[in-house]
Amino acid sequence: MSEERSLTYVAAFNEAVRQAMEADPDVFVAGEDVGAFGGVFGTFGGLQKAFGERRVVDTPISEQAIIGLGLGAAVSGLRPIVDLMFMDFICVAMDQIVNQAAKLKYMFGGKATVPLTITTAGGAGLSAAAQHSQSLEALLCHIPGLKVVYPSNPYDVKGLMTACIREDNPTVFIKHKRLLGMSGVVPEEPYEIPLGSARVAREGTDVTVVAWGRMANEALAAAEKLAADGISCEVIDPRTLQPLDIDTIVESTRKTNRVVVVHEAVKFGGLGAEVAAEIQEAAFDHLDAPVSRIGAPFSPVPFSPALESGYVPDAKRIAAEIRDLVARPLVGS
């Protein structure tokens, strides 16, 4: 094993792609400005220089074409990584993603393999306004045939991206824009984190907090504050949202008897509702209070930094909700 070293979220992503391309000549990258520019957030920096224009391909501004290119290459035996600059832009290519990539293996009776990795950047916090700041993971998780990944830290970025590239089914890898500069310990050698495996980010006894992406870190910050008040929070980071590791979440629920689900996406119809439903189906008798959900209001993401800051859940809001939940009388008392 290599000595511990620190990488940023961006650098961990870049290293996963670079090592995959070095190991397998069938891996290539395509997307808008991924070549000489290295991607809008620098996530593909230096790769075209290292591997050439045939393996790091700048494409026209056409999200449907980008996904179509990747899909055709995947079913032909290659392992494409195709990038959509912002998560909002998946909407332009939903037919290719939902009706083609997600369905091909089923339509061909399991005989087709679709090793397609779609990468994109989601989340608010950069004053990028309503069309460049959304969290749309719930749309993707609703589609059978897709796997959806949303890492919260550099270590998970590298391990999950490696798993996505090696996966024989279409995956969507979501990077959070506000986490790109986050640093953490990342091994130099390639490693894989299995898709569908949650992480117990912090152990606790009083309440389970389920959160992903940027919100996993906000939940950890809230848990640290609450510990000083004698409230012990267990934080579960699913890492993969589809398939969801509900077993780890239920196991934690049975220990703590209270649950808060946090996501940056709009609360109504968000993935938190599915998590809450699955918990009550599998562990209803263990709940001392209804599952609590925290999400964004039913509104487009504001451009104003002040409004955006109030729109996105944070550690303060999470901590307040947990204090309220813990203080509630037990169900049935």
What is the per-residue pLDDT across 7-27, written as a single tens digit (0 to 9) for each? 999 999 999 999 999 999 999
Quote the Cα angle for 55-56-57, to 5°.
105
| Contact status, residue 132 vs residue 88, Cβ threshold 8 Å | yes
Q: Tell me: the pLDDT tens digits for 233-278? A: 999 999 999 999 999 999 999 999 999 999 999 999 999 999 999 9
* Pair 298, 270: CB distance under 8 Å: no
- Cα-to-chain-centroid distance, residue 319: 22
Nearest to 120 by CA among 146, 86, 153, 144: 86
Q: Are strands 147-149 and 117-122 parallel, antiparallel or unpaired?
A: unpaired
At 263, give phi and psi (nearest 5°): -145, 155
Catalytic residue (one of 132, 142, 263, 286): 132
Last residue of a domain, one of 158, 185, 212: 185
Same domain for 129 and 12?
yes
Q: At residue 3, does pLDDT exceed 90?
A: no
Three-state secondary structure call for residue 103: coil
Whether residues 117 and 174 fall in one domain: yes
Is residue 62 domain-shared with residue 158, that is, in the same domain? yes
The model's pLDDT over 167-176, given as tens digits with 9 standing for 90+, comes to 999 999 999 9
Per residue in 32-77, pLDDT tens?
Answer: 999 999 999 999 999 999 999 999 999 999 999 999 999 999 999 9
Backbone angles phi, psi at 117, to 5 degrees: -110, 120
Cβ atoms of 229 and 240 within 8 Å: the answer is no
132 is catalytic: yes
Shared domain for 181 and 204, answered yes or no, is no
